[in-house]
Amino acid sequence: MNVIIIGSGVMGSGIAIESIRAGFNTLLYDINLDALNKAESYIHKQLDKAQSIGKITEEHKINALKNLRFSHQFEELTGDFILEAIVEKLPVKQELFAKLEAQNNADCIFATNTSSIPITQIGRGLKHPERLVGVHFFNPAHIMKLVEIISGAATDSSIAEKAFEWAKKLGKTAVYAKDAPGFIVNRVARHFYVESLKALEEQVCEFEQMDKLMRSTGFKMGPFELMDLIGVETNYSVTQSMFEQFQYDSKFRPSRIQKQKVDAGFHGRKTKKGFYTYDA
């Protein structure tokens, strides 16, 4: 099966790592050449790290990299399984899948890594929305085990099943989810971020102390560290989307502090500055 991943950010690159490690011929696409160069460096770095701690052998790393190609040419995006990991904006995703549908055959499966936008909405306007399924990874995708498989109103059950089996072949723990706001994880975990931001707004404590507290209770990362890793703007978009889907329930209200970070371009690790400042 030929796999195409659209979007070479941290999420897309992480999914590509898992795909090539599982032996799938994988094309990583981005419209931005500089982003592709950064993705290539990131993938090599992560595979080198995995080898250094004994997770993979050198032979496995070499073979995995043979499965990987990069492209910024849209016309090359024809394959068996195409997954997007791009900006969390509904019109952009709808336009992308419409273009993909026009240049791929009837057997191609389309997948979206959206964190919160309903699969049914993304598929609206497609000639064959039954071929679209949600395949939601979690950051960092090459480490986190869970993958949500989400069926929209029109998704064919056989397509969801094929996506489920693909995720399992990547060594992931796949679960089926309904096309409900936030699916499973983001619905449950949204308040990990929202309540932490409210506490910051109310000056309960500094964000560094909040992260320290959450780590001390067993979390691998605190909420502000995790927002910086995921992308402050991505996290904000998910909260905004869920706020709207839950009819503007105040418990999902996006944070003014987070919005200010987004407006300033402080998106986290990718921009060297978010809640924290990064040297590299």
DSSP 8-class letter at 236:
H
Domains of the chain: 2-177 (3.40.50.720), 189-271 (1.10.1040.50)
Joined tokens for residue 27: 């094309």
Beta strands in the chain (DSSP E): 2-6, 25-29, 68-71, 81-84, 109-112, 132-136, 146-150, 173-177
* Res 280: pLDDT: 66
* Res 139: pLDDT: 86
Burial class (CB in 10 A: 0-12, 13-18, 19+), 185: middle
d(CA 149, CA 214): 28
Catalytic machinery residues: 136
DSSP 8-class letter at 183:
T
d(CA 62, CA 104): 30
Residue 35's Cβ-side half-sphere holds a number of Cα atoms within 13 Å equal to 18
Q: How far is CA 155 from the centre of its chain?
A: 20
181-216 pLDDT per residue, tens: 999 999 999 999 999 999 999 999 999 999 999 999
* Res 224: pLDDT: 98
Which stretches of the chain drop beneath a pLDDT of 50?
none
Site of tokens 């791009």: 86
Joined tokens for residue 230: 């995921």
Neighbour count for residue 103 (Cβ, 10 Å): 12
- The pTM of this model reads 0.89
Closest CA to 88 of 224, 185, 233: 233
